[in-house]
Each structure stands twice: as structure tokens, then as C-alpha cells.
Structure 1
Amino acid sequence: MAEDKGEDKEKVTHKLEPDTELRFEVEAGATVQLELTKGLAEVFGTELILNKKCTFQGGSKLAVYTFHGCTVTLTGKTESAYIAKETPMTMYVNTHAALEQMRQKADEEFTRGPRVMVVGPTDVGKSTVCRMLLNYAVRMERAPIYVDLDVGQGNIAIPGTIGALIVERPASVEEGFSEVAPLVFHFGHKSPGDNLTLYDLLISQLAEMVNLRCESNKRANTSGVVINTCGWVRGGGYHSIVHTAGAFEVDLVVVLDQERLYNELKRDLPDFVKVILQPKSGGVVERSKETREESRDNRIRQYFYGKKNDLFPHTFEVKFNEVKIYKIGAPSLPDSCMPIGMVVQDNKTKLVPIQPSQSLSNRVLSISLGEVGDDDIVTTNVAGFIVITQVDMDRQSYTLLSPSPRPLPRSVLLVSDIPFMDIK
């Protein structure tokens, strides 16, 4: 079927031949319903249910793939919709098959399952490949651990964090993976380059926690780990990729769409780490800076209001003296300000108290599970997130947007440089 660019068609039926996929993007402000009416098909590894309608909001980009042929119907306005005959899906499925063989061997020998890391520049489909590998594993009755290190466009919690999650059921076509009891750490920035020292420290801490989880959960241990990374692959970003491979002791690195990165990792990683190069999907499109910011904003909004606006957050006040707000990382002092021979080693991971001010308005904060006075607050996971919507200096109070009613579970708050305006 020819590409449809925003034509005002209410209902369009697409017939897909075997090993093809329907790629479509929902027009901004519109809603599109997808329905499988015949055959078998999947979206990023999740099987579609026959005659069940799935709803997608404006800006959503999806690909419906079929191994055996199918018929699907799109109802609503699409920015574009076309059937692609060239797709790398066979390669991705073969990667899953190789990982499954490693899991079977781990079952037989009572060893650790495969750990795979997906790397590549921005906008090559890393998150999508991770989602497919996880979904295929779960469909084989596995329970892999998903690790997301993309602080700019995180899928486990909100932007500015890294985290891990045991995946026990396929992702919902509409809403993604169930985010029950994730392990999340506060980073506070939308790019690793804003504090690379802290980023690497948190990766090491997360790897240690994942190892502990694997030791206590045999099924997760043999199912392995799937790691999503950020799109910064040069300089400090490349060093973080190598650091991540070592911290998580990965067995396989999948490089998407960049031969240079593939060759550098082949050179720098140990011989027992297998590095493979795979193409990106033709449906992946480059996102603008504005689109990325809008995506971050939507992700935070979904945390408070739900992906279908079916959650109702709470607004309440807390006094300045009821909470302690910190920022991780202090500005580095020039050598001229330091005593001779003294070097500050930990300014990037230093906990800095923040005084109440209007600059805290419309800022996202993490609720640390640490207590005031703990030495390890920086590397302690978080309970959730709030937004300071107003600072009242006269009343000495903050107005908070919170997913739960008062009181806050902890009094230690970590401020991020990621803004959020609560405009519903």
C-alpha cells in the first residue's frame, strides 16, 4: 500500500505479506487505533491479540511485524503509514535464539545467564531492540533483568535516573513494561557528560545490586541481563560504555549502525566478550532537540498522571524544616584556591545542601531511601519522585506534586536540573 501522509481517512486496512512490517506514526494531537483482523503479528516482540483494538496517542511511532502474513486496520489520522519489505527483524530474532541457547546452557550447568549490552549513537533504535529481546525471552518463560542507563530518555523511571527491573511478562503494546518495584538511582541530569564521575559510580553500584539480585533469584540469574545505553559514543561516553561492559561483566555487545564503534569495542574489550554489528531498522527516525525535550516532559507527566491520564497525584505543603534537599556534585575549585599540594578528589560526588529559594520551583526531585547523616546517600536508591510547584518564602513552605498523599516516605530529597511544569 502506498504511503499515506496525513490524509483524512478514518479507517485504512493494510495486508502484510510474510516477513514485512507496517510502520506508522500518529499525527500530533490525533489518536489512532490499531486492530489485527487476520493472521499473526507483533509490535516490538509483543504479540497482537486478534480483534483487540490498541490505542496510540499523537507522536507515537510503531512497527507491526509479521512472520506469516496478516491484515491490520488503522483507524485515525497518521502522519505516515507504509509497509516495509526490508527489515532487520530476522537478525534480531537470530540474536534472541543465540541468547536462548546460552540460557539453556546456564540452566544445565547452574551458571549465570547471558548479559547483553545494546550500544550505538542516538536514534538507532537501541530501546526498541532491548524491548524485543526482553519480550522474546519472556515468551520463552524467562525472567531477564532489564537495565536502562539512558538518563536522557529513560524507560524504567523518569529522565535523570538509571535503573533495573525484573521483566516477567511481555510489554503491553500500548504502555510498555510493567514498572512494579524497579531499582532506581538518582543521577539528576539529562546527559552523562554533566557528571561523568557520578554516572560511572552509579553504574558500578547498579551492577553490584543486579549481581545481588541474581544471587537470590535463580530464574533471573539464568535468564540474564539486557542493558540499554545512552547515545553518547565518543570520548567520555565511549569510556562509560567500556566501564559498563566491565561492571556488568557482559558476554555480548550488540552495536547498532556504527562500524567505527564496533571496531573500537572489538579492539578494547576482552576476547571473551563477543561484539556484533547489526543494522538499525529503516523505520527509525532522527529526533530533534525539541522532540527529545517534549518526550522527557511526557515521561515525567506519565509518572504522575499515568499513560492514559488515569492517575490522580496529590498536592500538599511541607515546611522547609521537614525536608533536607541536596544536590550531588559541587563546582570544582581552581588550584589557586587550594592549599599547596592538596587536590579535591570527590567534588563530583559530593553531597551539597541546598537552601530554600525560588530556583527550586518546577524542579523534579528524587526521594532518597537514605537518612540524614548517612554517608552513602549518593549511592542509595530512591523511593519515588516529586515536583516542587511553589516555594513560599513567607510561610517557609514548599508546595509539592506527589503521586502519593502526605507524609513523604523519607525526608532526604535530591534535586535534579530537569524542569517540569505541572500543566495538565
Structure 2
Amino acid sequence: MTTSEAKEYKLSADCELRFEVEDETVICELKSGLAEMFGTELMRAHKYHFRSGSKVAIFTYHGCVVELTGRPEVDYISRETPMTFYVNLSAALEALRTKAQEEDRCGPTLMVVGPSDCGKSTLCRILLNYAVRMGRQPLFVDLDCGQGCVSIAGTLGAVTVERPADIEDGYSLVAPIAYHFGHTSPDGNITLYNILMKCLSKSVEMKMQTEKRSKYSGVIINTCGWVKSHGYQAIIRAAQDFNVDIITVLDQERLYNELVRDVNSSVKVIFTPKSGGVVERVRKYRIEARDAKVRWYFYGTAKSGLYPYSFEVPFSQLRVYKIGAPNLPDSCMPIGMKTEDNLTKLVSVSPTAQTLLNHILAVSTATSVEDNLKVIESNLFGFVCVTNVDIERQVVTLLAPQQRPLPPNCILLLSDIQFMDSH
């Protein structure tokens, strides 16, 4: 990359510079004026590095000059942007927070819904960043098990947002709550998904009662893109579980009208325009994004690197389980047992290369498997990855964020998420 590849973009008020990075790193620098990325302000004369897979939108309310060094796959200036709508939505939420603080009650709970690739995560990030810039500490709830903003894919989680998301590294995730789901879509086990949503809502409610600033700041909820059939029913259930006040629907008028019809009349449903820069992601990109999130968990980022540990654990010390047994017809079920019970059953997993190699294992805080529901509803310590299974020596090699040993009597929950450690 040379200085000859640098290109300046002059943005007028209420314009957005959009660019995508395919292969090489692109460096972005704010030369003059004021600008922000998804609600986080850019520092002037600071070089921001965006790597492969990055999709960036630099917005300005007053005008600015931005310089890009490198060769982005796509780059253009757009004057058609929904940012004015988003900032008005943020201002309305802030008014509700102020009123909640005056009356000493919980702030607004807003849920963002819509089909896949309509900008739900981006809108959540914008609203969270604006709230933090107003001195708030909102709770962010992530129900999108396919990508994972709070934790890695295959989980449902929540975290208190105390500072704006970093331009390059995203949220500062301090002490998040995470529950193991193990699939990249709710239809992997919709019964388990609904149980975890209810469990997470109780944890969020408890957190709001114990943290005053979060109580008044309210909750922003991100949802998955499955908006039909059981996915739609999960949205309705989430609105009830989390006592949602406002639902903002991105892009799909049909979904908006269905929700107006089906949710409680006390819930305000808003149709929200999506950004013209939002594009549909192919399956390959989704897989790469999940892989990057797992790599971030173990190795950090180029700016703040982490150094995980690798160690061996004997088969005899492993307690690996998968939540959910294969579906059986009702006629084959024991008397009094329902199909839903089978979907929350803990099934012991034998340590073989076929079952464990390159799979992510969630380290549960539970220590006993006698009560299935207690294991399911237990928070997670973190994750490990199985990098080798040695049948002859009867040991597995684990990649972990900290040194051995594993927590005593820990239960490891098998996930569909896989990760090839290339370091």
C-alpha cells in the first residue's frame, strides 16, 4: 500500500461515505470536520484500519473530509441515508429515559426486528452509542444466535454498554451474561431457544433492579432474521418476556402489520427505513464472520491481542454433553413424556475425533447433570476449542483463554460452532 493510493472524499452535510473491504486493509482518516461511524465519533487525524470483510459507513451531520488509503471493493458517497430518522428515534428514547428517571422506574425497552441483512445489528449499535454519549448505560440484549454481538455465535447474551463501541474493535464487553444454545439458528432447537430467552429476560430484569443507571437507561434488543413461522412466534414471545415498550421493524411492511395486529396494544410498533448501504450477505461471508468472532474471543484483535493457552485433558476428566436428543415420534416416547422434553435432555458425548474435533465447547457454571433445566439455565464461564483428539493416549487438546486446569467438576456443552485454529 502506497501513499499514491490515498483518495480524499468531501462530504456535505447529512451525507454518508460507504465502503467495503474485500482483501487488503483500508486505512481511513478524518482530515477535517466532524464525522461518526455507527454512532461513534471519529477522531481527527487518527488512522483507522479496516480489514477484510469490513462494511463501513462514515456519516456527517455538518460536512467533513475523509481520506481512504488502500483499495476498497466498493466506495461511494450517499445522500440517501436514514440517519436523521435514527437520531430522532434516539432522541425519543432519551426523553423516555428522562421521564423514567423522574418517576424512578425502568427505562424504555426497544426491540429491533426484521429479516436477515436489513441492518438490525447496525441500528442497535447506533442507538446504544447515542445513549452512551448522553451519559447512559443501557443494556444490550442479543438474541441473534447466528452471529453473536455479545458473545460468539450459538449463544444468547446481554451486556451493560458503558462506552461507545470502538471504531475498529466494536463493543467493550465487560462481564457479559451468556447462555449456551449451540446452534446458528433458532430452528436448531426452538424449545431450548424459548427457554433461554425467558431465562435471559429474568437476568436482565435482575440486573436493572440492581444497577440504577442501567435501570433508567433501558434495554436495546437485537433479534435474529427468522421472521416466519416459529421465528415470528419467538419474536412475539420475546416482546412478552422482556416487557418490550417499542418494536422497530426494519424493511418489511408485512412484518410490521403482523406485529401491529398480534402484540399487546401497549407496545408501540414503528416501521423504520433501512440504510441503502445494507446488502445481502452470502453464506460464505456469514461463516467467515462467525469464524472471525471465535478468533477474536481467543486471540483478540491486531490492536489488543490475546494469548490463549493449549493443554491436554484426559478423557476421564471430560464431561461433555449436548442439549437435545434426536426427535422421536410421540408414539415412541415414554408414557407422560413430551417431544419438548426430549429437546431439553442432556445427552452424554463420547470423546472422538468425529464428535469433538474443532468444535467449540461452552464451559458451564453448573456442576451437576442431575437437573437438566439447571444446566440449561446456567450462565457460562467461557469457551474452549478442541484442537486435537488422541484416541491412543486418551487425551484431548484444548485451546483456552486461560491456563489449565478447567474449573472443578465443570460441565462442557457441545456446540455446532467449529473453529480451525490456524495460529
Task: Sort the TM-score into its range (normalised by shorter chain).
Answer: over 0.9
Alignment of 1:17-416 (within 5 A): 17-28=12-23, 30-308=24-302, 310-338=305-333, 343-359=338-354, 360-373=356-369, 375=371, 376-410=374-408, 411-416=410-415
How big is the shift at 1:173?
A: 0.4
The aligned amino acid for 1:244 is A
Separation in 2 of the partners of 1:64 and 1:110?
37
One-letter amino acid of the counterpart of residue 146, structure 2: G
Partners of 1:320 and 1:370 in 2: CA distance: 19
Q: 1:337 offset after TM fit, Å?
A: 2.7
Q: Is 2:3–2:69's contact at 8 Å kept on the other side of the alignment?
A: no
* 1:29-58 CA-partner distances (Å, limit 9, x unpaired): x01111111110000000011111111101
For the residues of structure 2 that align with 1:229 and 1:209, how far apart are their CA atoms?
Answer: 17
Task: State the AA in 1 paired with 2:359.
Answer: R
8 Å Cα contact 1:9/1:76 also seen in 2: no
Using structure 1 for the length normalisation, give the TM-score.
0.96
Unmatched 5+ stretches in structure 1:
1-5
Say which is worse superposed, 237-246 or 318-327, in terms of deviation. 318-327
Deviations 1:282-327 (A, max 9, x none): 1111100111111111111111111227222111001112121010
Supply the distance in 2 between the matched residues of 1:88 and 1:243 (Cα, whole angstroms).
29
Write the letter of the residue equivalent to 1:197. Answer: T
- Consecutive unaligned residues of structure 2, counting only runs of 5 or more, are none
Q: CA RMSD in A?
A: 1.6
Whether the 8 Å contact between 1:23 and 1:283 is mirrored in structure 2 is: yes
Q: Distance in 2 between matches of 1:282 and 1:171?
A: 22
TM-score (norm 2): 0.96
Deviation at 1:335, TM superposition (A): 3.4
Post-superposition offset of 1:64: 0.4
Corresponding letter in the other structure for 2:412: L
Alpha-carbon offset, residue 7 of structure 1: 13
Describe the shift of the 1:193–1:342 C-alpha distance in structure 2 as closer, same or farther (beyond 3 A): closer
Deviation at 1:213, TM superposition (A): 0.4
How far apart are the structure 1 equivalents of 2:364 and 2:299?
Answer: 21
* Cα distance in 2 between the residues matched to 1:416 and 1:248: 26
Aligned residues: 418
Task: Report the secondary structure of 2:27's partner residue.
Answer: strand
Q: In 1, Cα distance between the equivalents of 2:333 and 2:278?
A: 50
How many angstroms apart in 2 are the aligned matches of 1:207 and 1:20?
38
Residues 315-374 of structure 1 deviation map (CA, whole Å, 9 limit, x = unaligned):
100111212101000112223434567545411111111122122111011000111245
Whole-angstrom CA distance in 2 between matches of 1:374 and 1:91? 51
Match of 1:13 among 2, 5, 8: 8
Deviations 1:116-169 (A, max 9, x none): 000000000000000000000000000000001111111111010010000010
1:422 aligns with 2:421: yes
Q: Kindly provide the CA deviation profile for residues 219-269 of structure 1, in whole angstroms up to 9, marking residues without a partner as x.
A: 100000000000000001000000000000000000000000000000000
Separation in structure 1 between the aligned mates of residue 144 and residue 405 of structure 2, nearest angstrom:
31
AA matched with 1:409: P
Letter in 2 for 1:366: A
Check the 8 A contact 2:384/2:399 in 1, yes or no. Answer: yes
Identity of aligned residues (%): 55
Structure 1 contact 8–77 (Cα < 8 Å) conserved: no
Q: Distance in 1 between matches of 2:263 and 2:2?
A: 50
1: distance between equivalents of 2:17 and 2:245? 33
Structure 1 consecutive aligned stretches of length 4 or more whose deviation exceeds 6 Å: none
Find the residue that maps to 2:73 and give its secondary structure: strand
d(CA) in 2 for partners of 1:350, 1:92 = 43
The one-letter amino acid paired with 2:76 is: Y
Match of 1:3 in 2: none
